């Protein structure tokens, strides 16, 4: 795409961002081209790829507030999760997946490093974001304590608790990916397995949790289920 077709407010870096996203989206389409249209993994990856194009256009237009930036981060996280599922289930080429993941990581860093260049020119936007960024700066641990001899949870800024919740959610996502890979490996090694077979090989994980993961993997057409309730068995499609 030639630079002449871009809006006048697009500088060289905005053109770079759009073209980089355009290449990533093209790679996502090409890497899922061999999958059947009936496989939801293909549909989900391509749907998020389409959303990513829209979100980078919004970001380039100057709306780089925390909402838009968070939306881009969410897009990247969803794409990474689906690509890892595709690679771990041997539905996608692992080398291609790793290359795309590396490009996404580099792009995300570029956006974070240049985020301040996209804030609007009005005084309201500048002052608003300066105040918000100061509120979110972490304070020393001692400042959260109440009066001498007392620790008060209510004295902690709400933003700190929010940050802890976000970190906890990210940690759970990582554990979820690892657990899916473990389950997929067990199924591959044993052809057909039950929930009890899997739970006996995965430590610190209840049968209820494993059942939820299996339901999710079935919905993504990664595995298939046969039978009902405790007689259910799972195998690779």
State the DSSP H helix or E strand holding residue 73, giving kind and residue range, or none if neither: helix 66-88
Tell me the mean pLDDT in the region 181-209. Answer: 86
Tell me the mean pLDDT in the region 65-80. Answer: 81
Q: Give the position of tokens 């309730």.
A: 229
So what's the pLDDT on residue 178? Answer: 75
Rounded to two decimals, the pTM is 0.47
Tell me the mean pLDDT in the region 200-225. Answer: 85
Q: 179 to each of 124, 155, 197, 214, how far by Cα in Å?
A: 46, 37, 15, 10
Q: Could you give all domains of the chain from N- to C-terminal order, each with its CATH number?
A: 3-118 (1.20.1440.60), 172-237 (1.10.10.10)
**Band of the pLDDT at 161, cuts 50, 70, 90?**
low
32 by Cβ neighbours in 10 Å (0-12 / 13-18 / 19+) ranks as buried
Chain segment 73-82, per-residue pLDDT in tens: 889 999 999 9
CA separation for the pair 201, 214 (Å, rounded): 15
**Band of the pLDDT at 92, cuts 50, 70, 90?**
very high
Can you spell out the DSSP letters for 20-40? HHHHHHHHHHHHTTTS-TT-H
Locate all alpha helices (DSSP H) within 146-237, ordered by sequence.
158-190, 195-199, 207-219
More confident residue, 209 or 43: 43
């Amino acid at each position: 795409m030639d630079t002449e077709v871009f809006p006048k407010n697009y500088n060289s870096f905005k053109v770079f961002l759009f073209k980089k996203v355009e290449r990533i989206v093209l790679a996502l389409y090409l890497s899922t081209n061999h999958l059947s249209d009936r496989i939801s993994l293909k549909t989900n990856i391509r749907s998020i790829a389409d959303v990513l194009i829209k979100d980078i256009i919004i970001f380039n237009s100057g709306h780089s507030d925390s909402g838009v930036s968070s939306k881009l981060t969410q897009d990247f996280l969803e794409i990474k999760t689906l690509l890892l599922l595709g690679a771990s289930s041997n539905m996608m080429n692992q080398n291609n997946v790793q290359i795309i993941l590396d490009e996404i990581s580099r792009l995300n860093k570029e956006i974070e490093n240049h985020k301040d260049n996209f804030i609007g020119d009005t005084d309201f936007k500048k002052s608003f974001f300066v105040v918000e960024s100061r509120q979110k700066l972490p304070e020393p641990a001692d400042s959260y304590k109440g009066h001498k001899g007392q620790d008060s949870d209510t004295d902690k800024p709400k933003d700190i608790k929010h940050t802890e919740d976000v970190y906890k959610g990210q940690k759970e996502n990582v554990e979820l990916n690892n657990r899916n890979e473990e389950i997929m490996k067990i199924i591959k090694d044993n052809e057909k397995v039950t929930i009890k077979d899997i739970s006996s090989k995965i430590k610190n994980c209840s049968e209820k949790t494993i059942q939820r993961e299996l339901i999710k993997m079935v919905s993504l057409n990664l595995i298939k289920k046969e039978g009902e309730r405790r007689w259910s068995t799972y195998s690779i499609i």
